[in-house]
């Protein structure tokens, strides 16, 4: 019943976009009924009902297309299930995938390139649509072969959450460079409070802290990869890890597991939390109105270097799908990235709209949630996972290096040298 | 002297109880607080009166369906395991045939295969059988248990040979003997196996996610995962859900505690064989 | 023909069973019939897939597209022998299995002894000890991540109360494994306690009484009278907790992800990581095969030794 009411409500919101989409659907996939399946990990919080809403809306404007959502609890299980399904020759029609997964799928010929759809005169997207997709997001759709293999869906990047009351009490303004940030963290660190908590992640599951570090590497002028090879032990990388290690030594940085940044900020103990913007609803619940929580862009590097890490996935079409399914899948993927749909998705879940065209539909929301615009604009320079299958391992080795340094007293240079050596081995095998 | 010892062991027992119950108590506390009281320091050890988490958590998923699915899956798995273990345990414990030892060792060696590695091959098998996304996929692959066979074999081989010979003289077939005499005698062992298999099935995590896709056949773990997905954990919601998914089983256990202990008692007695 | 065949078989069966009736009943076909349901399940879902795993362990196997796989002979095994990750994982497994098996045996017996007397308090405590066993593993292991949280968790709050230094349990290579073991014991001890309680119920009361009359104190009574009678129960507990802890996966997956560094990467977890996260299916298969052989040899040795002792 409740679901029905919500559905009517979004029906109204999406009314404008429904008509033209329905028209295009009529020309492309009429006559036959086609069912497509979508394997995804949007199973928690507001993500599930929102995706249900969007799917229902799509189905009602595209008669003849039925979408089966196959929800997995997290990306780890999703990846495993996609692998199992591909191995058994029984993949879904489409699935969420990170860039590095897509690289593995593509080299196994398990997914298809999308250029034929994207650039198609009839069913493709117009030039303006392409140019309105955030640059970082757009670059992220390609594999090294120069083809488009993915289409954007749930994108987020990293922002700085802060406890405004605590900053005010300490007489601090919001840091705009990492140097200021370090000074601020040290200043708020007293007996019962500290700068930030982070999760380094593990070899098999990197976490927000891993991405925070990688963002700092970029801001310090470093790279993650170069010419298709990992570059984990650059000077900037060592500096960035040294930077975090100094904070740890000062007691300004604490390490934890399972979203410790939300716990620490929410409890009013840490002044900052670097986290994915998609964690906003959880962050808000943790704070629960105890103090004034605000969001700022990530600080910049020493030479004004902007660095951010993109999180969230794209969608891919699996090779096994029939021509009719592929066509319907493309319609659905295009729909999810359409300004109205991506705006609705962003408003409900805290993810970011994948195109700047969506911002006009979010005016009211942005007025009350100004950080959404900040974060969305940061998608221009945010780096997604490098599109190589071995990046999964390389990122794991980064997490390991962080554990070695932050928890076990290894030196940043030696820990990163080890990570680089292992990553090189993975990249060349 | 004795009285002092009794008092001391009584207090120790109480301490043990507190240690075990406290984490669960904390779950209850968390489930009754708003999340801003959960994220508090020093931690809050008293429950608030926030019943709202329960209704929110309850509406988050189709719990009744998940619960019935779990009961059906776990119940059927137990039934199937008991059947296959009775038959195989009887064959290995009572019957004499060539290759019996090899057969037993072969079955034991199945224990040593790391289960994780079978996930994808099993997925392929289930796909070939067209069993993906069914109840069957969650029952039949778990329908034989080395532990169950092992336990019943031990039990049956401890049966006095006279009993078997007497039955034979009466002209009872093996099946009749198994059904009317051996199986009822094995009831305590069956209870222990049943409990073990039930909890194993209840705890399965990766299997249902990989082998099934639609909520209509999925177990309760799938519902629970709503609370700890991508980007954060809803502690109060998760706690409320843990409470209302654990309570029914606890209740069943409270009612059957004595029988379980009696069952286990007879079972380990049989281990003397 | 077939009727004749069956008759002959039955005749043979009978004659054989008569000849051997003292030892039991000899009936190969019937035995196979009784074994077949279990064997069928094992064959289809365990043995068959395991043979497949053995096969792919000789390949650089591409799970996503088998046609891209190529034969590498013993390559994966050579790599395995030279992989420090593998040997570390063996040590970690021994640690985990040893501690959970030892812990549940000793604590299980101790708690069962405490709870074996009657009384309302002990009835309630029994329920408290058994409750964790019924909680969903994946959900309560996440709750324990919270309990082990260095700043907000229960354990460190207690340590602070006692003026002890706080520990980053799941972040420390030293303490992550003990934390994992504590959770596992908390969750699983209930079952062990039931088994020991049951075992205690069969211990002869007269012998205990006699020991008491002889002036033995409680500890001596337990050591000299109770424990010797619980040998079989203990064996049973050891067997079952070994099986369970060798296959433990969910709590490692949710609590530590095998970390920090590789402090909690058991061989079972390494297998998962290599096969599923890193797409090294052939290498993962080789780990599985070696693990199987190691456990099998170990068990065989144990059987030999216990037979020789008997």
Where residue A120 falls among pLDDT bands split at 50, 70, 90? very high
Q: Which residues of A touch C170 (CB under 8 A)?
A: 256-257
* Residue A290 CB neighbour total at 10 angstroms: 16
Among B20, B112, B202, select the one facing C129 at the smallest CB separation.
B20
Is residue C148 classed as helix, strand or coil in its secondary structure? coil
Please compute the mean of the pLDDT values over residues A246-266 and round it to a whole number: 91
Chain A neighbors of C152, CB-CB under 8 A: 263, 267
Across the strands, what pairs with A40?
A71
Sign of CA dihedral B121, B125, B126, B130: positive
Q: What is the pLDDT of residue B38?
A: 72
Q: Note the pLDDT of residue A323.
A: 95
- pLDDT value for C135: 83
Which chains are adjacent to chain C, needing at least 3 Cβ pairs under 8 Å? A, B
Query: What is the rounded distance in angstroms from the CA atom of residue B95 to the CA atom of residue B152?
Result: 13
Looking at residue B41, its pLDDT comes to 65
DSSP string, A96-146: EE-HHHHHHHHHTT-B---HHHHT-TTTS--HHHHHHB-HHHHHTTB-TTS
Q: Find, among B185, B188, B193, the residue nearest to B150 by Cα.
A: B193
| Residue in B with minimal Cα distance to A349 | B231
Which of B36, B127, B132 comes nearest A290 by C-beta?
B36
- How far is B258 from B115, CA to CA, in rounded Å? 33
Select the residue of C126, C243, C285 nearest B111 (Cβ to Cβ): C243
pLDDT tens digit sequence for A212-229 = 999 999 999 999 999 999
pLDDT of residue C233: 82
pLDDT level of residue A160 (50, 70, 90 thresholds)? very high
Tell me the C-alpha distance between C120 and C106, whole Å: 24
pLDDT averaged over every residue in chain B: 84
CA gap A353, A372 in Å, rounded: 9
- CB nearest C261 (choices: A260, A263, A408): A408
Q: Which of B5, B43, B265 sits opposite C199 (nearest CB)?
A: B265
- Interchain contact, B127 vs A90, CB within 8 Å: yes
- Rank A167-181, B196-210, B242-256, C155-169 by mean pLDDT and report only the highest: A167-181
Residue C13 has pLDDT above 50, yes or no: no
Q: What is the pLDDT of residue B248?
A: 82
Give the whole-number percent of chain A exceeding pLDDT 70.
Answer: 93
* Model pLDDT, residue A18: 42
- Closest CB to A104 among C64, C259, C273: C64
Contact flag C138-B272 (C-beta cutoff 8 Å): no
Q: C114 vs B13: CB contact, 8 Å cut-off?
A: yes
Range A100-118 average pLDDT: 95
Q: How many CB pairs under 8 A join A and C?
A: 101
Q: 3-class DSSP state for residue A39? A: strand
Please answer whether residues A158 and A207 qualify as being in contact, where contact means their C-beta atoms are separated by less than 8 angstroms. no
- Residue of B7, B16, B63 best to disrupt the C interface, most CBs of C under 10 A: B16
| Cα B63 to the center of its chain, rounded Å | 19
The tokens describing A302, both together, are 């020493």
The interface residues of chain A toward chain C in range 57-96, judged by CB-CB distance below 8 A, are: 76, 79-80, 83, 86-87
Query: Chain A partners of B66 at a C-beta cutoff of 8 Å?
Result: none
Between residues B4 and A276, the one the model is more confident about: A276
Name the least confident of A76-85, B118-127, B157-166, B249-258.
B249-258
Does pLDDT of A17 surpass 50? Answer: no
B41, B91, B109 ranked by CB distance to C296: nearest: B109
* pLDDT reported for residue A15: 45
Q: pLDDT tens for residues B27-78?
A: 888 888 877 677 776 667 777 777 888 888 888 778 889 989 999 999 999 9
Among candidate residues A242, A276, A235, the one with its CA nearest the CA of residue A259 = A276
Q: How confident is the model at residue C224 (pLDDT cuts 50, 70, 90)?
A: confident
Q: What is the mean pLDDT of residues C119-145?
A: 84
State residue C25's pLDDT score: 53
Closest in C171, C258, C262 to A407, CB measured: C171
pLDDT at C8: 31
Identify the bridge partners of residue B205 per DSSP, sorted by sequence position.
Answer: none
DSSP letter at A175 equals: P
Tokens (6 digits) for A166: 């605590």
Chain A residues closer than 8 Å to C172 by CB: 407
pLDDT tier at C204 (50, 70, 90 boundaries)?
confident
Nearest to B250 among C47, C131, C218 (CB): C131
What are the pLDDT digits (tens) for C54-97?
A: 999 999 998 888 889 999 999 999 999 999 999 999 999 999 99
Four-residue CA torsion sign, A20, A24, A25, A27: positive
Residue A21, pLDDT score = 44
pLDDT score, position A149? 97
Distance from CA of A20 to the nearest CA of B (A): 32
Q: Measuring CA to CA, how many Å separate B215 from each of A71, A408, B191? A: 9, 43, 30
What was the pLDDT predicted at A222? Answer: 93
Looking at the DSSP bridge assignments, the partners of residue A310 are: A157
Look up residue B17 and give its two tokens. Answer: 């109880």
Residues of chain C positioned with their CB less than 8 A from the CB of A255: 150, 168, 171
Half-sphere exposure of A172 (CA within 13 A, CB side): 24
Backbone angles phi, psi at A363, to 5 degrees: -55, -50
Alpha helices for A164-311 (secondary structure H):
164-169, 178-188, 208-219, 235-249, 260-266, 280-287
The whole-number pLDDT of residue C5 equals 34
B-chain CB neighbours of A258 within 8 Å are 233
Measuring CA to CA, how many Å separate B138 from each of A41, A50, A299, A419, C15?
Answer: 21, 29, 50, 40, 43
B41/C267 touch (CB, cutoff 8 Å), yes or no: no
pLDDT at C10: 35
Q: In this predicted model, what pLDDT tens digit does every residue of C25-39 receive, in sequence order?
A: 567 888 899 999 999
Q: pLDDT above 90 covers what percent of chain A? A: 74
Triad B104, B183, C188: Cα angle to 5°: 65
At residue B4, the pLDDT reads 67
Q: Which of A392, A394, A387, A362 is nearest to A377 (CA)?
A: A362
| Contact yes or no for C41/C55 (Cβ under 8 A) | no
B98: pLDDT strictly greater than 60:
yes
Q: Which residue of C has its CA nearest to B86?
A: C34
Residue B231 confidence (pLDDT): 78
Cβ of C258 within 8 Å of Cβ of A396? The answer is: no
For the four alpha carbons of B93, B181, C30 and C239, in that order, the dihedral sign comes to negative
Q: Which residues of C touch A408 (CB under 8 A)?
A: 173, 260-261
Mean pLDDT of all residues belonging to chain C: 83
How far apart are the CA of A395 and the nearest CA of chain C, in angstroms? 11
A393: contact with C, CB 8 A cutoff: yes
In this complex, the residue of C25, C198, C292 whose CB is nearest that of residue B267 is C198
Q: Check pLDDT > 60 for residue C4.
A: no
Predicted local distance difference test score (pLDDT) of residue B266? 58
pLDDT of residue A94: 97
Return the ∠ at Cα B78 (arms to B77 and B81), rounded to 5°: 85
Instruction: Mutate one of C85, C138, C141, C151 to test the A interface: name it (highest A CB count within 10 A).
Output: C151
Reported as a single tens digit per residue, the pLDDT across C258-293 is: 988 889 999 999 998 998 888 889 999 999 999 888
Rounded to a whole number of angstroms, the distance from the CA of B11 to the nearest CA of chain C is 10
d(CA B242, CA C19): 59
The shortest C-alpha distance from C212 to chain B (Å) reads: 11
What pLDDT score does A82 carry?
94
Taking an 8 Å cut-off on Cβ atoms, the answer to whether C65 and A109 are in contact is yes
A403 token code pair: 């554990």
- Residue C226: both structure tokens together: 């109770």
Mean pLDDT for the stretch of residues A392-409: 93
How many Cα atoms are found within 13 Å in the side-chain-facing hemisphere of B253? 27
CA distance B6 to B1: 9
Q: Is the pLDDT of residue A356 over 50?
A: yes
Model pLDDT, residue C82: 93
Q: Cβ contact (<8 Å) for A81 and B127?
A: no
Long-range contacts of C6-15 (CB under 8 A, 24+ apart): none
* Residue C259 to residue A392, Cβ atoms within 8 A: no
- Identify from C20, C28, C34 which residue to disrupt to test chain B contact, counting B C-beta atoms within 10 A and taking the largest count: C34
Q: C31, B85: Cβ pair inside 8 Å?
A: no
Q: Would you state the pLDDT for residue A344?
A: 96
Helices and strands: H and E segment counts in chain A: 20, 14
Bridge pairing between strands A253-255 and A34-40: unpaired
Q: Please give the average per-residue pLDDT across A265-288, as a whole number.
A: 90
**Residue contact A283–B232, C-beta within 8 A:** yes
Put simply, the answer to whether B41 touches C296 (Cβ < 8 Å) is no
pLDDT band at residue C7 using 50, 70 and 90 as cut-offs: very low
Query: Could you tell me which chain A residue has the CA closest to the CA of C275?
Result: A80
């Amino acid at each position: 019943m409740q679901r029905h009411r919500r559905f009517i409500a979004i029906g109204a919101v999406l009314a404008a976009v429904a008509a033209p989409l329905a028209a295009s659907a009529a020309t492309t996939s009429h006559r036959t009924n086609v069912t497509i399946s979508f394997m995804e990990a949007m199973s928690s919080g507001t993500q599930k009902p929102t995706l249900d809403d969007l799917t229902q809306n799509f189905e009602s404007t595209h008669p003849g297309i039925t979408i089966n959502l196959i929800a997995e609890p997290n990306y780890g299980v999703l990846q495993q299930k996609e692998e199992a399904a591909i191995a058994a020759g029984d993949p879904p029609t489409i699935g969420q995938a990170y860039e590095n997964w897509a690289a593995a799928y593509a080299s196994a010929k398990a997914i298809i390139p999308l250029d034929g759809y994207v650039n198609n005169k009839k069913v493709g997207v117009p030039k303006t649509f392409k140019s309105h997709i955030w640059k970082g997001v757009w670059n992220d759709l390609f594999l090294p072969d120069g083809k488009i293999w993915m289409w954007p869906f749930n994108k987020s990047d990293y922002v700085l959450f802060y406890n405004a009351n605590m900053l005010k009490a300490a007489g601090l303004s919001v840091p705009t460079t990492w140097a200021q940030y370090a000074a601020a963290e040290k200043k708020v660190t007293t007996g019962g409070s500290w700068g930030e908590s982070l999760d380094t992640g593990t070899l098999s599951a990197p976490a927000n802290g891993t991405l925070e570090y990688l963002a700092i590497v970029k801001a310090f002028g470093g790279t993650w990869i170069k010419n298709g090879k990992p570059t984990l032990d650059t000077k900037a990388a060592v500096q960035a890890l040294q930077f975090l290690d100094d904070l740890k030594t000062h007691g300004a940085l604490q390490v934890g597991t399972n979203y410790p940044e939300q716990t620490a900020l929410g409890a009013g103990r840490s002044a900052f939390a670097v986290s994915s913007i998609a964690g906003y609803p959880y962050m808000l619940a943790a704070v629960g109105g105890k103090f004034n929580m605000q969001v700022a862009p990530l600080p910049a590097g020493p030479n004004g270097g902007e660095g951010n890490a993109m999180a969230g996935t794209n969608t891919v079409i699996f090779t096994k799908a029939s021509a009719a399914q592929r066509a319907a899948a493309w319609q659905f993927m295009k729909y999810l990235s359409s300004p109205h749909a991506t705006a609705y998705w962003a408003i409900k879940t805290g993810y970011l709209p994948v195109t700047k065209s969506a911002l006009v539909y979010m005016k009211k929301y942005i007025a009350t949630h100004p950080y959404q615009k900040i974060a969305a604009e940061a998608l221009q320079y945010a780096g997604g996972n490098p599109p190589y299958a071995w990046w999964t391992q390389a990122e794991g080795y980064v997490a390991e290096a962080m554990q070695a340094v932050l928890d076990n007293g290894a030196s940043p240079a030696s820990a990163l040298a080890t990570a680089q050596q292992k990553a090189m081995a993975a990249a060349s095998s | 002297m004795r009285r002092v010892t009794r008092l001391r062991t009584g207090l120790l027992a109480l301490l043990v109880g507190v240690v075990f119950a406290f984490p669960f108590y904390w779950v209850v506390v968390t489930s009754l607080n708003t999340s801003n009281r959960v994220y508090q320091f020093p931690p809050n050890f008293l429950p608030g009166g926030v019943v709202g988490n329960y209704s929110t958590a309850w509406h988050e998923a189709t719990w009744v369906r998940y619960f019935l699915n779990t009961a059906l899956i776990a119940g059927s798995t137990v039934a199937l395991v008991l059947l296959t273990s009775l038959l195989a345990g009887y064959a290995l414990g009572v019957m004499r045939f060539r290759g019996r030892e090899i057969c037993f060792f072969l079955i034991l060696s199945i224990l040593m295969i790391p289960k994780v590695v079978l996930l994808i091959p099993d997925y392929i098998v289930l796909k070939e059988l067209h069993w993906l996304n069914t109840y069957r996929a969650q029952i039949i692959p778990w329908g034989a248990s080395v532990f169950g066979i092992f336990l019943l074999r031990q039990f049956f081989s401890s049966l006095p040979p006279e009993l078997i010979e007497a039955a034979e003289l009466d002209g009872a077939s093996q099946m009749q003997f198994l059904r009317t005499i051996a199986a009822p005698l094995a009831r305590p062992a069956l209870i222990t196996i049943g409990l073990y298999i039930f909890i194993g099935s209840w705890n399965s995590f990766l299997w249902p996610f990989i082998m099934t896709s639609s909520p209509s056949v999925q177990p309760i773990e799938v519902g629970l995962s709503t609370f700890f997905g991508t980007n954060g954990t809803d502690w109060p919601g998760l706690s409320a859900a843990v409470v209302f998914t654990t309570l029914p089983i606890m209740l069943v256990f409270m009612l059957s505690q004595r029988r379980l202990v009696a069952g286990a008692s007879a079972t380990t007695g049989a281990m003397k064989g | 023909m077939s009727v004749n065949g069956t008759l002959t078989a039955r005749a043979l069966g009978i004659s054989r069973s008569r000849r051997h009736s003292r030892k039991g009943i000899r009936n190969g076909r019937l035995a196979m019939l009784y074994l077949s349901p279990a064997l069928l399940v094992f064959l289809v879902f365990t043995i068959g897939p395991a043979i497949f795993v053995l096969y792919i362990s000789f390949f650089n196997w591409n799970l996503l597209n088998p046609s891209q796989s190529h034969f590498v002979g013993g390559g994966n095994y050579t790599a395995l022998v030279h992989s420090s990750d593998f040997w570390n994982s063996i040590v970690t497994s021994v640690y985990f299995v040893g501690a959970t098996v030892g812990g549940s045996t000793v604590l299980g017996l101790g708690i069962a002894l405490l709870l074996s007397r009657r009384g309302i308090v002990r009835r309630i405590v029994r329920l408290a000890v058994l409750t964790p066993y019924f909680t969903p593993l994946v959900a309560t292991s996440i709750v324990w991540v919270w309990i082990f949280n260095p700043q907000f968790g229960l354990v460190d709050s207690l340590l602070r109360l006692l003026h002890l230094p706080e520990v980053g349990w799941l972040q420390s290579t030293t303490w992550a494994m003990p934390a994992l073991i504590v959770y596992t014991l908390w969750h699983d001890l209930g079952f062990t306690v039931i088994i020991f309680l049951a075992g205690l119920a069969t211990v002869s009361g007269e012998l205990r009484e006699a020991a008491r009359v002889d002036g033995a104190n409680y500890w001596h009574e337990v050591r000299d009278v109770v424990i010797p009678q619980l040998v079989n129960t203990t064996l049973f507990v050891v067997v079952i907790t070994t099986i369970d802890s060798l296959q433990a996966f969910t709590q490692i997956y949710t609590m530590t992800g095998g970390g920090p560094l590789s402090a909690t990467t058991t061989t079972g977890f390494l297998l998962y990581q290599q096969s599923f996260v890193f797409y090294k299916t052939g290498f993962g298969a080789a780990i599985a095969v070696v693990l199987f052989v190691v456990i099998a040899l170990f068990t065989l040795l144990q059987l030999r030794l216990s037979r020789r002792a008997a």
